[in-house]
Each structure stands twice: as structure tokens, then as C-alpha cells.
Amino acid sequence: DGGITQSPKYLFRKEGQNVTLSCEQNLNHDAMYWYRQDPGQGLRLIYYSQIVNDFQKGDIAEGYSVSREKKESFPLTVTSAQKNPTAFYLCASKGGQVGQPQHFGDGTRLSIL
Amino acid sequence: AQKITQTQPGMFVQEKEAVTLDCTYDTSDQSYGLFWYKQPSSGEMIFLIYQGSYDEQNATEGRYSLNFQKARKSANLVISASQLGDSAMYFCAMREYDYKLSFGAGTTVTVRA
């Protein structure tokens, strides 16, 4: 079955530590996205990539970094510069046609120890 | 300025009744798309329905229909014959020229037996 796999499901970060969230898709989609969701809130765009080796900042990119070395993979690193990283992180991908929806992974819950 | 406004933080609906979730949007683009997603308590985002700005007919998908009023910039979701499994958070989202999605704050729907 095609889909998006996010790992781990739960992640804990110590102060001053960088952590990396994995996102892999086998849908052959060119575009991939990272969102942050705080409790009771909507999704906010962190970074997105429309093609391999290229990515753009979203609305809340500070304290995060990404890479897109392979079409299937779009890992997100939450750096120590992100002072409030506790949130639910969702990865999505999208095919090329205009009306195609973004498909989402199951998310990673990040907490501070 | 908010691009997507969902004014109902929470709603209760009786099983088998219909419920309408409000969504208004703000854009100066002529070409845009509107999406509705469902987020159960487990966290995954499930695509429900899509309406393109040039689509003349309101979109329907099973028990979901989208009441699209372009002049009023509204894209309300109607869920007919509510089921207990419809209890979830519902998000309205808009895609503009840059193919990014902007999400509203969401509406929590609770279906009562």
C-alpha cells in the first residue's frame, strides 16, 4: 500500500539537543510538507519542498531545518534554537495535479524532557 | 490576516442528523482550491472533499457535501446522517497560487447517540 510513514510516533528531547523526525513516502509525489500543530489549533507550515534538492521556508521555519536529498524522504530537524518544540508534527506529500489533496502521515508527538 | 476562518470551535449533533460546519476564506487569487480534512483523536488527517474555484457544481463525496458560495467566500461542509464515528476535529484549508495550504483553526464535532 502506498502511503507516508512518519517515525518515531513519540519523541522526547532534552534541553540543547537536536532531534530529527523522519518522513518517508512511496506515493511518487514530488511535493512534501512539514506542519506543526499545537493543542486545539490548526496546522502551520514549517517547510516545504516541491522537488528534490530544493525546499522553501514556510510560516514558522525558525529553529527548524530540512533536507531533500531523495524524492521519497524529507526529514525535519528540530534544533536547540527552537525554544518551544513541544507539539504534534505532521508530514504530507502531494501529487502533481491541481485538485490533488495533500496526503498526511500519522504524525510525531515531540515533548521536552 | 487570517486566510481561513472557522467560527465554530465546537458543535454537538444528534446521531442521524445533518450538521453544517462553517468556513470563510480570504484570497485575491482567481484560481484556488478549498479542502476539508477530518482529524480523529488519533491525530491523522483524513481528506474528505475538494472544491476548485472554477467548479460550477458543489462537490459531493458520499455523506459529505461542500456548499460553495463564491461571492460570499464561503465553503461550508455539510455532513448528512451523522454517525458516532464522525466525532472528530474538522479543518477547512485553502490552496492558492503557490500550492501551499492555509488551514483554519478547526471545529470539533461531537456526535451524540
CB of A44 within 8 Å of a chain B CB? The answer is yes
Residue numbers in B near A42 (CB within 8 A):
4, 91, 103-106
CB neighbourhood size of A44 (10 A)? 16
CB of B10 within 8 Å of a chain A CB? The answer is no
Task: Evaluate whether B101 touches B2 at the Cβ level (below 8 Å).
Answer: no
**Residue B70: which of B89, B90, B94, B44 has the closest Cα?**
B94
Cell numbers linked to A23: 518522513
CB of A38 within 8 Å of a chain B CB? The answer is no
| SS3 label, residue B60 | strand
Q: Residue A5: in which H helix or E strand, if any?
A: strand A4-7
For the ranges B9-18, B76-85, B93-102, the lowest mean pLDDT is seen at B93-102
Q: What is the pLDDT of residues B31-52, one digit of tens each?
A: 999 999 999 999 999 999 999 9
> Which of A50, A102, A106 is opposite residue B44, by nearest beta carbon?
A106
From first to last of its 113 residues, what are the pLDDT tens digits of chain A? 679 999 999 999 888 899 999 999 999 999 999 999 999 899 999 999 999 999 999 999 999 999 999 999 999 999 998 989 999 999 999 988 878 899 999 999 999 88
CB neighbourhood size of B50 (10 A)? 19
B50-69 mean pLDDT: 95
Task: Evaluate whether B74 touches B23 at the Cβ level (below 8 Å).
Answer: yes
- How far, CA to CA in Å, does A68 sit from each of A55, A72, A79, A96? 7, 9, 17, 17
